[in-house]
């Protein structure tokens, strides 16, 4: 292990290594315990009842049959459910929590969308609850529901997004000879993490609640639950040691509140796990989008205008798909116009889904860029290089780091892009037309405040604690690595605790922000502990380091030693035992854009580096990348197979080569799904999805996925944090569907502008 010196930046020796996941053993043996698996004594099972109309009101329930059904304990409806603190956006904002959908269940008789939870049956067993739920009879006063996006858009107004030289776009486009004006559409998509949303509510009296909850928002969920149930936040505990995927779809939502309400009502622990069908109707989705992109060029191929007009729907939330987001940072063009039009539909709230905005916005923008390049008969990589924005083109500030050109260069070489023909339909392999396509990926880099506490025991073990989250992203592993470097302690002696709202607060696990946010606090807390150990050792007459100067002392292998003579050392264990310290703790909060602050049990006053990082006024923070794909198209049958992918990612410092690669691969596969098959189809007569299950809402299976070759730039971002890691969880999906569309065009000469590219699309 490399030697580290306390008052200097920690060396990154373990950070970056392709460590196997520390929770791997638990996961391959089936012992890792997910939320629905924390069964409780005397626990009841809950099964929700959903509305079968999209809009209107409930005029009555007939519960006679359901209540008589075997094992039924109680049935909650709006008529008898506990009344919660009313939804008040300002008050909720104050708590720091939020709801994916601004609708508290069972508080009134209004129906806002098809499938809304309108009752919940509680029974002794799952089988009994599920059956009785089918016996609940509901009568409604039905109203006409808006379900058609195009129609609803007519009733909405256009909102201005980012603009450069406002008002000039139309005139330039009109007069330009080199231009593209096209409409692209993306369908509603659903997250479908493999673990269905689950909650187990355990009340201790009337004012203490423990909620095992499959949520990405540990602290926010605690705060909002406390708000609704009028509890003190410290009397609510949210627990989720493992999350079976989230992808943005596991925000605080109705089902977890329902479980808590139900538990309160019957004064028993209650388990509520939603069905896969409910994951199509009750936990948010990505809105469908209609996007009009216009580009114009001068004769040299320099973009003169980028116009991106997008529309989507929203309901029961302030959120709308931020579709123009990548169009604000990619490409130089003197005139830029981004507009949003949000229609209201009588459907459940749209929400964050892996790379909100970017994932679908880049489909349109990066397809249009490819179309423009083809108009110019220019190689699309060359076209992108020609129009590359080396500084943020809208904010007019520097990027914190931007190695996109290097991504292109490496991708071109590793993929073998040079053999691509500009003219389509040039390569055939038996029944297959072969095409190459590429696209840029980008995702903003986000950092939020986070607090980490580390406890060192005199048996040599260290425990890292923070209310962050493991949703498969590798949090346990990466925090372990960072702590190993911060403390000079072997990985095997570090234990990480996350997924518990009683731990020091951390941001919600979304927006590719966890690594950038939490790990700096680990470093800071580790440094505080080291300093404290050093202070004790220097003051301890029995220590070999007694009386030494802090600047002469280094640390590694769980000990402090003299930098000039490694044999003069004192182990953490010995220091603590001699000084009667069973445990030592340090807690640090890393706040972006400001100084890190913290306090040990007995502060030794180290000179903490001023963390002036993540100043969003000074720098524009983004991960970048480029995807190169080869597709084979069977034109007769309309089938498209992605045969290989090369992806080059500039994500700053790579925290763990193994898990980062997996995240990128996962993002690319999400993109393949979006490109080729994923679509939530609604029957507008009911405003209900006809793709009710995983047999109808197709996500990629193993055979759909080719080898994916991942390359990292690996250069730390100097401005996001002392570690220099930008986000990796979402950038991988961005641009994939465009790269595939571009490859399909290269293969067939057919331009597909409407996701997904199912076989029928090639027959239009």
Hey, which residues between 208 and 267 contact other proteins (CB under 8 A)? 239, 241-245, 247
Q: Mind giving me the DSSP string for 603-621?
A: -----PPP-----TTTEE-
For residue 102, the tally of other CB atoms under 10 A from its CB is 16
Cβ 624 to other proteins, closest distance in Å? 13
Nearer to other proteins, 296 or 462 (CB): 462
d(Cα 476, Cα 24) in Å, to the nearest integer? 10
Question: Helix or strand or coil: residue 192?
Answer: coil
What gap in Å lies between CA 639 and CA 237, rounded to an integer?
A: 49
Answer yes or no: are the C-beta atoms of 285 and 315 closer than 8 Å. Answer: no
Residue 41 contacts other proteins per CB under 8 A: yes
User: From the CB of 566, what's the least distance to other proteins, in Å?
Assistant: 29
CA angle 379, 382, 387 (to 5 degrees): 125
For other proteins, the binding residue among 430, 541, 549, 617 (CB under 8 A) is 430
Backbone CA torsion sign across 10, 16, 18, 23:
positive
Q: Does 705 bind other proteins (CB under 8 A)?
A: yes
Q: Least distance (Å) from other proteins to the CB of residue 375?
A: 29
Nearer to other proteins, 403 or 622 (CB): 403
Q: Name residues contacting other proteins, limited to 68-97 (CB under 8 A).
A: 70-71
CB of 578 to other proteins, least distance (A): 24
Q: Strands (DSSP E) along 603-693, which ranges?
A: 619-620, 622-634, 639-650, 682-683, 688-689
Q: How far is the CB of 37 from other proteins (least distance, A)?
A: 4
From CA 687, how far away is CA 131, in angstroms rounded? 25
Minimum CB separation from other proteins for residue 360, in Å? Answer: 18
Contacts of 398 (CB under 8 A, 6+ apart): 391, 392, 618, 619, 620
The answer to whether 30 contacts other proteins (rule: CB under 8 A) is yes
CA–CA separation, 264 and 262 (whole Å) = 5
Verify binding: residue 443, other proteins, rule CB under 8 A. no
Residue 688 found at the interface with other proteins (CB under 8 A): yes
Which residue from 631, 710, 743, 755 is in contact with other proteins, where contact means CB under 8 A?
710
> Of these, 83, 166, 693, 718, which contacts other proteins (CB under 8 A)?
693
Among 7, 107, 398, 639, which residue interacts with other proteins (rule: CB under 8 A)? 639
Long-range contacts of 170-173 (CB under 8 A, 24+ apart): 170/307, 172/296, 172/304, 172/305, 172/335, 173/294, 173/296, 173/305, 173/307
Query: How far is the C-alpha of 538 from the C-alpha of 524, rounded, in Å?
Result: 21
Nearest residue (CB) to other proteins, 286 versus 692: 692
> If we measure between CA atoms, which residue out of 614, 604, 709, 724 comes closest to residue 664?
709
- Say whether residue 680 binds other proteins (CB under 8 A): no
Question: Does position 568 bind other proteins by CB under 8 A?
Answer: no
End-to-end CA distance of the chain: 61
DSSP-derived pairing of the beta strands 303-314 and 289-297 = antiparallel
Query: Which of 8, 9, 27, 206 is close enough to bind other proteins by CB under 8 A?
Result: 27
Three-state secondary-structure class, residue 103: coil
Buried b (16+ CB within 10 A) or exposed e, 312-336: bbbbbbebbbbbbbbbbbbbbbebb
Q: Return d(Cα 428, Cα 348) in angstroms, integer.
A: 45
Stretch that binds other proteins, among 31-39, 155-163, 308-316, 615-623 (CB under 8 A): 31-39
Q: Which stretch binds other proteins (CB under 8 A): 81-89, 168-176, 217-225, 692-700?
A: 692-700
Binding segment toward other proteins, per CB under 8 A, in 104-112, 383-391, 435-443, 658-666: 658-666
Q: 448 vs 510, 516, 655, 723, 731, CA distance in Å?
A: 11, 8, 18, 14, 18
Which of these segments, 284-292, 301-309, 588-596, 697-705, binds other proteins (CB under 8 A)?
A: 697-705
Size of the site for other proteins (CB under 8 A): 123
Min CB(656)–other proteins separation in Å: 9
Q: What is the CA radius of gyration of the chain?
A: 28
* Identified binder of other proteins from the candidate list 375, 388, 704, 751, rule CB under 8 A: 704
Determine the interface stretch with other proteins among 149-157, 169-177, 528-536, 675-683 (rule: CB under 8 A). 675-683
Q: Are 610 and 571 in contact (CB under 8 A)?
A: no
Is 499 or 511 the residue whose CB approaches other proteins more closely?
A: 499
Q: Do the Cβ atoms of 275 and 195 come closer than 8 Å?
A: no
CA distance 66 to 70: 9
The Cα–Cα gap between 112 and 105 comes to: 11
Determine, following the binding rule CB under 8 A, whether residue 416 of this chain makes contact with other proteins: no
- For residue 549, CA distances in Å to 395, 531, 539, 554 come to 47, 12, 11, 11
Taking the complex as a whole, the smallest distance from the CB of residue 696 to other proteins amounts, in Å, to 6
Question: Interface residues for other proteins in 43-62 (CB under 8 A)?
Answer: 43, 52
Stretch that binds other proteins, among 297-305, 520-528, 596-604, 673-681 (CB under 8 A): 673-681
Measured between alpha carbons, how far is 395 from 404 in angstroms, rounded to an integer? Answer: 18
Stretch that binds other proteins, among 21-29, 102-110, 156-164, 442-450 (CB under 8 A): 21-29
* 154 is a contact residue toward other proteins (CB under 8 A): no
**Least distance in angstroms from the C-beta of 460 to other proteins:** 12
Question: Residue 124 interacts with other proteins (CB under 8 A)?
Answer: yes
Query: What mask, x for binding other proteins by CB under 8 A, covers residues 263 to 302?
Result: ----------x-xx--------------------------
Q: In this chain, which stretch among 302-310, 439-447, 573-581, 687-695 interacts with other proteins, using CB under 8 A? A: 687-695
Can you tell me the distance from the alpha carbon of 724 to that of 714, in angstroms, rounded to the nearest whole number?
10
Q: Of 497-526, which residues contact other proteins (CB under 8 A)? A: 497, 499-500
Least CB distance to other proteins at residue 32 (A)? 5
The correct pick among 29, 175, 177, 300 for binding other proteins (CB under 8 A) is: 29
Judged by CB under 8 A, does residue 378 bind other proteins? no
Q: What is the closest distance, in whole angstroms, from the C-beta atom of residue 355 to other proteins in the complex?
A: 14
For strands 450-457 and 462-465, give the pairing: antiparallel
* Residue 597 interacting with other proteins (CB under 8 A): no
CB 479 within 8 A of CB 464: yes
**By C-beta, is 299 or 701 nearer to other proteins?**
701
Q: Is 636 in the site for other proteins (CB under 8 A)?
A: yes
Active site residue 375: no
CA angle 286, 353, 225 (to 5 degrees): 105
- What mask, x for binding other proteins by CB under 8 A, covers residues 383 to 412? --------------------x--x---x--
Find the part of the chain contacting other proteins (CB under 8 A) among 174-182, 366-374, 517-525, 755-763. Answer: 755-763
**Beta strands 619-620 and 427-429, pairing class:** unpaired
- List 545, 677, 736, 740, residue binding other proteins (CB under 8 A): 677
Q: Which is nearer to other proteins, 88 or 204 (CB)?
A: 204
437, 370 contact by CB (below 8 A): yes
What positions carry a catalytic annotation? 730
């Amino acid at each position: 292990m490399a030697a580290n010196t306390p008052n200097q930046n920690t060396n990154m020796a373990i950070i970056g290594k392709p460590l196997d996941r520390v929770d791997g053993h638990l996961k391959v043996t089936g012992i890792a315990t997910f939320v629905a698996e924390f069964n409780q004594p005397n626990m009841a099972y809950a099964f929700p009842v959903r509305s079968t109309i999209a809009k209107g009101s409930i005029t009555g329930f007939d519960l006679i049959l359901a209540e008589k059904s075997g094992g039924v304990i109680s049935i909650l409806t709006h008529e008898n459910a506990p009344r919660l603190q009313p939804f008040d956006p300002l008050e909720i904002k104050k708590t720091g929590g939020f709801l994916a959908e601004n609708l508290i269940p069972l508080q009134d008789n209004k129906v806002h969308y098809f499938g809304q939870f309108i009752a919940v049956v509680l029974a002794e067993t799952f089988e009994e609850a599920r059956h009785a739920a089918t016996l609940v009879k509901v009568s409604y006063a039905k109203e006409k529901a808006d379900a058609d996006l195009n129609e609803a858009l007519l009733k909405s107004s256009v909102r201005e997004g980012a603009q450069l030289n406002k008002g000039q776009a139309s005139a330039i486009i009109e007069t330009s000879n080199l231009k593209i004006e096209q409409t692209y559409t993306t369908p509603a998509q659903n997250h479908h993490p493999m673990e269905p949303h689950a909650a187990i509510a355990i009340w201790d009296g009337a004012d203490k609640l423990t909620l095992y909850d499959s949520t990405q928002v540990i602290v926010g969920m605690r705060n909002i639950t406390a708000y609704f149930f009028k509890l003190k936040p410290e009397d609510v505990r949210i627990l989720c040691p493992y999350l079976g995927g989230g992808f943005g779809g596991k925000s605080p939502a109705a089902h977890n509140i329902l479980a808590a309400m139900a538990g309160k009502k019957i004064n028993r622990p209650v388990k509520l796990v939603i069905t896969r069908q409910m994951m199509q109707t009750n936990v948010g989705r990505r809105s469908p989008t209609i996007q009009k992109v216009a580009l114009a060029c001068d004769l040299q191929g320099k973009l003169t205008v980028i116009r991106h007009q997008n529309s989507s729907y929203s309901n029961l939330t302030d959120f709308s798909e931020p579709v123009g987001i990548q169009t604000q940072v990619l490409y130089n063009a003197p005139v830029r116009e981004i507009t949003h039009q949000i229609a209201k539909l009588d459907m459940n709230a749209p929400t964050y889904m892996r790379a909100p905005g970017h994932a679908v916005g880049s489909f349109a923008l990066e397809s249009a860029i490819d179309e423009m390049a083809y108009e110019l008969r220019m190689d699309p990589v060359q076209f992108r290089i020609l129009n590359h924005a080396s500084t943020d083109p809208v904010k007019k500030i520097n990027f914190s780091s931007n190695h996109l050109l290097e991504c292109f260069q490496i991708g071109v070489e590793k993929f073998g892009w040079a053999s691509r023909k500009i003219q389509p339909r040039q390569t055939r392999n038996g029944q297959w037309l072969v095409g190459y396509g590429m696209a840029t990926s980008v995702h903003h880099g986000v950092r939020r405040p986070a607090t980490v506490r580390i406890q060192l025991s005199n048996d040599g073990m260290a425990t890292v604690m923070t209310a962050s989250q493991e949703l498969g992203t590798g949090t346990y592993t990466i925090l372990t690595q960072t702590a190993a470097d911060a403390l000079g302690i072997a990985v095997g002696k570090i234990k990480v605790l996350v997924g518990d709202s009683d731990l020091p607060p951390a941001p919600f696990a979304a927006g590719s922000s966890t690594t950038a946010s939490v790990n700096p606090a680990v470093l800071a807390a580790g440094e505080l502990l080291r300093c404290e150990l050093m202070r004790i050792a220097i003051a301890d007459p029995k220590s070999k380091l007694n009386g030494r100067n802090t600047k002469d002392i280094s640390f590694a292998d769980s000990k402090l030693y003299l930098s000039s003579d490694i044999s003069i050392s004192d182990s953490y264990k010995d220091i603590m035992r001699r000084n009667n310290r069973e445990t030592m703790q340090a807690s640090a909060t890393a706040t972006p854009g400001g100084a890190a602050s913290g306090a040990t049990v007995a502060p030794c006053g180290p000179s903490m580096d001023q963390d002036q990082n993540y100043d969003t006024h000074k720098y524009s923070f983004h991960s970048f990348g480029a995807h190169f794909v080869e597709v084979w198209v069977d034109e007769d049958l309309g089938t498209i197979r992605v045969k290989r992918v090369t992806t080059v990612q500039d994500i700053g410092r790579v925290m763990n080569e193994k898990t980062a690669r997996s995240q990128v691969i996962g993002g690319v596969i999400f993109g393949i799904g979006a490109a080729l098959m994923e679509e939530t189809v609604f029957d507008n007569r009911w405003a209900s999805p006809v793709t009710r299950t995983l047999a109808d809402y197709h996500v990629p299976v193993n055979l759909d996925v080719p080898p994916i070759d991942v390359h990292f730039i690996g250069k730390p971002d100097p401005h996001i944090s002392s570690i220099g890691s930008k986000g990796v969880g979402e950038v991988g999906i961005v641009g994939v569907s465009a790269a595939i569309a571009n490859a399909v065009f290269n293969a067939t000469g057919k331009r597909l502008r409407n996701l997904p590219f199912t076989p029928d699309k090639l027959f239009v």
